[in-house]
Structure 1
């Protein structure tokens, strides 16, 4: 029951964050969303695409793999970084640099509508998975490159932590507009 309550609280938080990001699109033109103050940082729109792509393909994708038994049945757990992040309930308040490669650099948005639709898909997927999380065995895990082996519930929690982590970046990028 504690896992169900935790999942529902996580879903509420995801919903609030998705709504906050969706509302955050309103004041900007597509040109502003594509603006980059320098070559070493993402635009606000790229950050949005990163959030959407990470949630849909990494986090929700990993939940699906856990559900479909495409995961590793393992007692292995989180890395030291993973243990620390989950104990804190958030990523540390530092800038995390992803590898400088086209694979990790999100594309510029095509439109505000594309971003809003992407956020809506994240919300829909989170809603569809929350009721199924307690049915997925906790020893079915998918390895995160930095955090170690995570089960479906932990991947679900990571959606909210990742969305929350990027609020600081959003504020910084908005100040530069």
Structure 2
């Protein structure tokens, strides 16, 4: 299965999960602290949209020309499709965009994201692995690596959503 299809499957989970939550629980901050479900969705929509912009920059050759491979730790994350089991602080670039959004805003944002992901493969015909855009934590990634990152990142937050929902009851 391609990363694009894996992402679309993950986004199906996000859409289905969204239908199981009421507005009150959606915006409620868990007793243990951290993000509400709304804030997790806000983060995913924002980060994945920015990742799609990075992919477009790489594919349109407006990103940085870099011949060096990604760090071995980054390659391991992308290969295994998982982040190491540690808590990460959201990069400041994204922290400001995280907010409590409504169920309706979230559903609309997911639909837009699905459309963007469905269209993304058209640009890979002229893929060049040397055009890379900088990720705030992982360094310079090419378009395929950015696509893989979207999948890894989305799966990571699926687990977070399940954990928060369990805590909320």
| TM-based fold match above 0.5 | yes
1:105-120 alignment to 2 at 5 Å? 105=96, 106-109=98-101, 111-120=102-111
Matched, 1:44 2:37: yes
- Cross-structure match for 1:129: 120
Per-residue deviation, residues 43-71 of structure 1 (Å, max 9, x unmatched): 001001101100002x1010111123221
- Cross-structure match for 2:166: 175
SS of equivalent residue, structure 1 residue 142 = strand
Q: How many residues align?
A: 167
Deviation at 1:79, TM superposition (A): 2.5
Deviation at 1:87, TM superposition (A): 2.9
Query: Given the superposition, is the C-alpha separation of residues 103 and 74 from structure 1 closer, same or farther in structure 2, using an over 3 Å criterion?
Result: closer
Match of 1:156 among 147, 151, 154: 147
Unaligned runs of 5+ in 2: none
Deviation at 1:132, TM superposition (A): 1.5
Query: Given the superposition, is the C-alpha separation of residues 128 and 170 from structure 1 closer, same or farther in structure 2, using an over 3 Å criterion?
Result: same
Whether the 8 Å CA contact 1:62–1:155 is kept in 2: the answer is: yes
Whether the 8 Å CA contact 1:83–1:147 is kept in 2: the answer is: no
Unaligned runs of 5+ in 1: 1-7
Match of 1:70 among 62, 69, 72: 62
Instruction: Give the Cα–Cα distance (whole angstroms) in 2 for the partners of residues 89 and 102 of structure 1.
Output: 23
- Cross-structure match for 2:47: 54
Task: Give structure 1 regions of 4+ aligned residues with deviation exceeding 6 angstroms.
Answer: none
Per-residue deviation, residues 128-153 of structure 1 (Å, max 9, x unmatched): 11122242211101111221211111
Deviates more, 1:41-50 or 1:86-95: 86-95
CA RMSD in angstroms comes to 1.9
Deviation at 1:102, TM superposition (A): 8.8
